[in-house]
Structure 1
Amino acid sequence: KITDKNYIRFLSDWKKDNKPHVLLFDHMPVVPLLYKLTAFAYRDYLSFGYVYVGLRGTEELSSQYNINVYTPTMMIFKEHIDRPADVVQAREMKKQLIDDFLSQNKFLMVARLTSQRLFQELCPVKKSHRQRKHCVVLLTGEGEKFAEAYEAFLTFAVANTKDTLKFVHIYSDRQLEFADALLMDEEKYRGRSAVVILERRNNAGKIAYKALEEAWQGRKEDSFILLDLLDQLRTDPGLLSSETVVADLNDELAPMFLVRWFYSTLDYISDSWDSLFHSNWREMMPLLSLLFSVLFILFGTIIVQAFSDSSDTRDSPPSGKEETAAKTEKNDASFSKESNSRIPKKGFVEVTELTDINYTSNLVRLRPGHMNVVLILSNSTKTPLLQKFALEVYTFTGSSSLHFSFLSLDKHREWLEYLLEFAQDAAPIPNQYDKHFLERDYTGYVLALNGHKKYFCLFKPHRSGDEGGTLGSCNDYDALHHAEARGKPSCSPGSRSIKNKLHKLSFWMERLLEGSLQRFYIPSWPTLD
C-alpha cells in the first residue's frame, strides 16, 4: 500500500526493477481481488501499488496527480515519476479495460536489456521484408559519469519512438560478450557510451547492425547524426551493412527474481488468508461460488453415473399455454428493464473536471457507444452553472454510457475555439484581429463529445429574449429603480441569468439520446494543454 511517505521511493525503484510502476487509486479500504489477480499476472513486467484515497496520509499524493477521489484511477509511471506516462479512469474497472491498458505499457521508454527473453520481446526477429523492426541500443555504463549520455538518449527516444523502432540500453560491463561482438573492442569506445542500430535476423543470434562512428556523448550533434541514420534506414535497409553472431544475454535479475517471486507469493497468500477470514467476503464470493460449483458438478456426475436408470424418460415439452405465459413474462421483464435503465442510481450527479491528466481516458479513448457531456464554465460562473447543470441532467445519470464533466474556459479557451471552428454556423469563431476576440462569452455552452467516432453535438445557452423572457424581467430600468427604492432585493442579472443559460438543457439531452441532433465531425481530437 502506497502513502505520502513511500510513494517517491516506490516510483523511483524503476531503475532497480527495470519495470514501469502502476498505481491504482480507489476509495475501497481493501485492495480489490481483481487488482490482486492482475498484479500477479503481470508481475514479470510491472510493479504494482495501491492507494486508498480515503486514508489519512494520502492527501499529498492525490493532490500531486490531481486524483478524482470518487472514480477509480490507474496510472503508469516510467522513467519520469513527476508525471504519469499513461492514465485510465473508469467508474468500474473491468478486466478487459485493465488488460488493454497494461499490455500497451509493459516496458519502459528505454528499457535495459537484462535477459535474453527481454531482448527477444523488445527486438523480435524479422519475419519478412515488410515487417522490419529495428532496435536502437545504447551501450553504456553505470554511475554519474554516464548519466548525461543516458538522459540525452532517453530524451531522443521519447521524441522518436515508433511501432517499428524500439530504444533500449545495456550495461556493457554486465554483458561483455554482447558489447564486444558489436564494438569489436575498439579503443575510441573505451570508457564511453556507444549507440548501435541493429536488426535480429534469426533466433540463432545472427544480427545486422551499424554503430555510430563516434562515441555517444549526448550532444545535439550526436542526436542529429542518429536521426539522419534512422531517416536513411527507412528508405535503405542495406544501411545495416555489418553482420555478426551474438551470444545469449546473461540473466542479470535471475537470483533477485526468485527471491522476489517467493516473497510476493507469500504476501499474496497472506493477504488472501486475511481477506478470507476478516473483511473481504463480498469479493471472495465469486471465487467461493466457482469452487462450490465445480464440486457440485463433480459430485453430481458421480451420482448420476452410479444411480441413473437407463429407462429414464425425457421431460415432456411444455404446453402451448405455458410457452405463451413464459414469453409474456419475458417480454414484461425486458420492458421493465428498458424503462428502468435511465432511473438515477445515485442521489447526486458526478461531474469531473476535464484536465490534461484524464483527457485521454475520458475522451480520446472513450469506449464505443459512450459520450462525455461537457459543460463550459469560468471561475466566476462555476457554482451557479454546476448547480443548474446537475438539476438538468440528473434524470439521465442512470445511463452508464453518459459521462459528465466540466471544462474551465479560463484554462482551455483555445481548445474550445478550435472545436467550435468545425461548427461555424452554430458558433462563428472570430479571427485574431477581432477586437472582441478575448471578450466572447462561451460560458453555458454544452458539448456532447463522442470520442470513438470523433464528433460532437453543441448546446448554445438561451439569451434573455428567448422563450418570452425566460431570464426574468430585470431589463426594465424603472421597475428595478422602484424596487430598490422600496428596500426590496432586486432581481440581479447575475446568478439568475447565469443559471437560465442552461434553460431547456434537459430537452436537448432527450434529443441527444434520440440521435436527432446535428453532429459536427472533426479529423482528430486536439491536445488539451
Structure 2
Amino acid sequence: MRQDTLNALKDLKGVCPTEWNRQRKRLCVILITENNKKKDIERVVLRDIALNVGYSSEKVRFAYIFKESQPDFIKAISKGSFKDSLIQIVIIWRRDKKRIKYDWVYVAKQNGNSSPEHLINSTKGQISNAVKKLLKNSEALCYEAIVENLFNEHSQGILTKWISQFLYVVDYLSDNIEDEHILAVFSLLGTIAFMFTVGYVLIYFVRVEEENLKAHGQLIDIQDQRHINFIPELKLYELRAEKYNGMVRLLKPGFRTLLLINDCQSRHKLIPYFHKAVWPYRKSKTLLFGHMVIEKGLPWFSEILRLSLSKNRHLQVNPRNCVGTVLALNGHRKYFCMYHAKHPESALGTKRTLRNTQKLLDANEDPEIGRFLKRDFSEESESEPNILLEDHLLNGLDNWLERLFDGRTQKYYINYWPDFITK
C-alpha cells in the first residue's frame, strides 16, 4: 500500500485507474490538504492508515492533493463536502477519463487536544466503514462529476525546456563524440563558411566594377538596353491551307488581314515594298499581315472574285495580272477591299491630285511656278500607261491604306469564304 501526490493527469491515471464495471470498481481515497507544515499531521495520519489498512491495492488506493494546486478539480467535487469535518477526505471511483463518482468521509472533531494515535484510529475507523460500504455491489457513491485535466505542478516553461534539451544534447555529445569527430565537423563547417565568404567577396567586387562602368558610361543596364533597342516586330505570314482559318475564316470581330499577292519571281521585290508601306501600322493589335503566292492560291482568289460579282459566271484569271494586288480581308463580316495599280479605285487618288495641281497652275500666272511644276505633265498623266513595271506596282499603296482606314474604300461582300485549295 502506498500514498501518492496527485499533481498531474498522468498521476491521476496511475493512482486512480478507470473501471466502468461496478463489480470490479476501484476506489481511491484522497486527502484534501494544504501545502504547509501545519498540515503535515494529516498526511502522516493518511500514510499510517495506508500502511496498516487491510485492503488490496487493486481495490483501494490512497493519495493526497493540495487545494492551492488543483482548485478546478476540488471545485468540481465540492458538492456534498463537510465543512466541519476534521480532515477532508473524499473517496472517488473513476468510471472513465472524465466522469467520476465520489462520496465524502466525515471525520468528527475531537474535544480538547487529542493525541495523534487517537486521531489515526478515529480516521481509520471512518475510512474503513466507508470503504467496506462502497465496495459492495449494491452500494453506490452519492455524487457524480466531470473533471478536466489536472494542472501539472512540475511542468516547465518553454525556455526552461529548451535549456534542458540543450544541456542534454551537450552531455550526450560530450560522452559519445571523440576528438577526431569534432575535428571533422569543424573542418566541414569551415569549408562551407569559406565557400560562402569567397562567393560574397566575388559578388561584391563584380557589383563595384559594374557601378564604376555605369558611372563612366561604358555599361548600360540590361533592362534599359532592352527598352532602348526594343523595336516592335512586324511578321508577314504566308497564306497556306493550314493557316487559312486563322488568317481569314476565324478572325475575331474587328480584325482584318492585309494580304499581298505575288508570284515566285516578284516576291523578292514586292515584299520589301509591302513591308515598308504597312510598317506604320505594326502596333495595331487588330491587323494581320501576310502574303500569298498566286500559283498556290489562284483557285481561291478566282472564287472570291466570282462571289463578289452580282452575276454568276466562270472567270478566267491571268495569274500574271494578279501580281501586286493587296486585299484587306474582314473574316467576320465576309467582305474584302482590293488594291491594284490599275484598279480604278487605286488610281483615283493620283488623278485627283493631278487635277488639283492643274487648277493651281491655271489660277497662277507666275511663269516660275509653271516651270517648277512642269505644266506638260497633265496630258501624259491622264492617259494611263499600258505597261507597269514591278517596281511601281505598290506606289499608290500608302494612299490606299489611308482611305482604307478612313472607311472610304469599296467593300466587296461575299456569302461565304471558299476553301483554300492548293493548286
Same fold (TM over 0.5): no
Q: TM-score range by the shorter chain?
A: 0.3 to 0.5
* Structure showing greater Rg: 2
Q: What TM-score, normalized to structure 1?
A: 0.27
Q: What TM-score, normalized to structure 2?
A: 0.33
Higher relative contact order (CA 8 A, sep 6+): 2
